[in-house]
Amino acid sequence: MLKLDKEVSHGIMFIRLEGELNKESFNNFSKEVNNLLYNYGVHYFVFNFKELNIFEKNIFSKFENKLIEIFLSCGKVVMCGLKELQKKSLGEYYNKLFYVNEEFEAFKLLNI
Q: Where are the domains of the chain?
A: 2-109
Superfamily for domain range 2-109: STAS domain (3.30.750.24)
Cα–Cα nearest to 49, from 81, 85, 1, 88: 81
- Phi and psi torsions of 9, nearest 5°: -140, 125
Phi/psi at 111 (5° precision):
-110, 125
Give dist(CA 103, CA 50) in Å, integer: 10
What pTM, to 2 d.p., does this model score?
0.90
Q: How high is the pLDDT of residue 19?
A: 92
Low-confidence ranges of the chain (pLDDT < 50): none
